[in-house]
């Protein structure tokens, strides 16, 4: 029997409300329903009448013992963890290119310092690919450049990120202040599945424009490719402010921030959020300091 399913049942039986149970558990109502259905299928009984939200006879019998079972399991876990570290497994992390380049190395270093026996498997790709891997359980947690809304996923904002416009080495100095200032320039664009593409589109809309209105010089999979092609004079680019120092060091021209900002987010499957290693990494990520931004 899945402990998480049983815990959800106990909370729901006590609250007699899917919405209140979801709020207490910090999960969606659909996830509460799904876990209850899983438990009922495993036991081959109906536990809660859906129309009245009252316990069936079988539900009453289970509820009478479930609280004690959960306490016993928690006590056994505590006893076993005294004799073996829960932080000895491989932690599989996925990240989109911006957090994967500028945050993940430092995060892994901090995690390794606290839990030196932990091994890492890292996957860096665009946001849509990483979220697919999370849902397929190919990664344990994901750090991406956009909020990921899914009924089975818990997502929290971590660090603020501004997008900046960069021009090739022969671009005129001074910041762009409107969409008209850049509308005649060719652009190196990210793929549509990337968080940077979505954030750039939202920023340009505040200027009354769109990426679709800008000439496409190239479509590339990551920030490094943007930097290389802008450096080569192929066109302008939009990058995270955390990549600005690298852009300027290559001779690219800082054309200023785009309006607005985004958050980089941590996502994990809700049903796995309390697994020891995933929970420990989540707590570490929430307190991790963002790198210092420099354009020098």
pLDDT digits (tens, 9 = 90+) for 125-153: 989 999 999 999 999 999 999 899 999 99
Return the domain boundaries, the chain. 3-83, 90-159+263-287, 163-260
Q: Is the pLDDT of residue 211 over 60?
A: yes
What is the sign of the dihedral through the CA atoms of 105, 110, 116 and 119? Answer: negative
pLDDT of residue 115: 83
Q: What architecture is domain 90-159+263-287?
A: 3-Layer(aba) Sandwich (3.40)
Please, which residues have CB within 8 angstroms of residue 169's CB and are 6 or more apart in sequence? 231, 233, 251, 252, 253
CATH topology of domain 3-83: Arc Repressor Mutant, subunit A (1.10.10)
Same fold? 3-83, 163-260: no
In CATH, which of 3.40.190.10, 3.20.20.70, 1.10.3720.10, 3.40.50.10310 is domain 163-260?
3.40.190.10
pTM for this model (two decimals): 0.67
Alpha carbons 88 and 172: distance in angstroms, whole number: 53
pLDDT of residue 205: 97
Q: Report residue 75's pLDDT band, with 50, 70 and 90 as the boundaries.
A: low
Alpha carbons 253 and 70: distance in angstroms, whole number: 60
Q: Is the pLDDT of residue 32 over 80?
A: yes
pLDDT of residue 294: 65
At 237-287, the pLDDT tens digits run 999 999 999 999 999 999 999 999 999 999 999 999 888 888 889 988 988
Q: What is the mean pLDDT of residues 42-54?
A: 92
Q: Contact at 8 Å (CB) between 41 and 53?
A: no
Mean of the per-residue pLDDT values for the chain? 89
pLDDT of residue 230: 98
């Amino acid at each position: 029997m899945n402990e998480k399913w049983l815990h959800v049942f106990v909370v729901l039986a006590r609250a007699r409300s899917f919405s209140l149970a979801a709020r207490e558990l910090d999960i969606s109502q659909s996830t509460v329903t799904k876990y209850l259905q899983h438990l009922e299928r495993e036991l081959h009984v109906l536990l809660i009448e859906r129309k009245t939200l009252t316990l069936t006879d079988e539900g009453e019998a289970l509820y009478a013992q479930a609280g004690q079972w959960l306490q016993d399991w928690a006590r056994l876990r505590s006893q076993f963890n005294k004799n073996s570290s829960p932080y000895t497994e491989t932690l599989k992390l996925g990240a989109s290119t911006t957090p994967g380049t500028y945050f993940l190395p430092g995060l892994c270093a901090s995690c390794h310092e606290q839990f030196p026996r932990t091994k890492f498997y890292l996957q860096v790709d665009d946001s849509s690919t990483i979220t697919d891997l999370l849902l397929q359980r190919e990664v344990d947690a994901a750090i991406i450049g956009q909020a990921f809304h899914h009924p089975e996923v818990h997502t929290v904002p971590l660090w603020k990120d501004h997008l900046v416009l960069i021009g090739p080495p022969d671009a005129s100095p001074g910041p762009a202040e409107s969409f008209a200032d850049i509308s005649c320039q060719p652009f190196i664009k990210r793929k549509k599945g990337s968080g940077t593409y979505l954030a750039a589109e939202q920023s340009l809309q505040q200027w009354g424009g769109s990426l679709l209105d800008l000439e496409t010089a190239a479509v590339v999979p990551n920030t490094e490719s943007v930097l290389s092609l802008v450096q080569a004079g192929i066109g302008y680019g939009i990058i995270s402010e955390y990549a600005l120092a690298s852009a300027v060091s290559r001779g690219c021209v800082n054309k200023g921030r785009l309006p607005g900002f985004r958050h980089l987010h941590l996502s994990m499957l809700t049903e796995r959020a309390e697994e020891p290693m995933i929970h420990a990494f989540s707590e570490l990520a929430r307190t991790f300091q963002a790198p210092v931004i420099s354009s020098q």
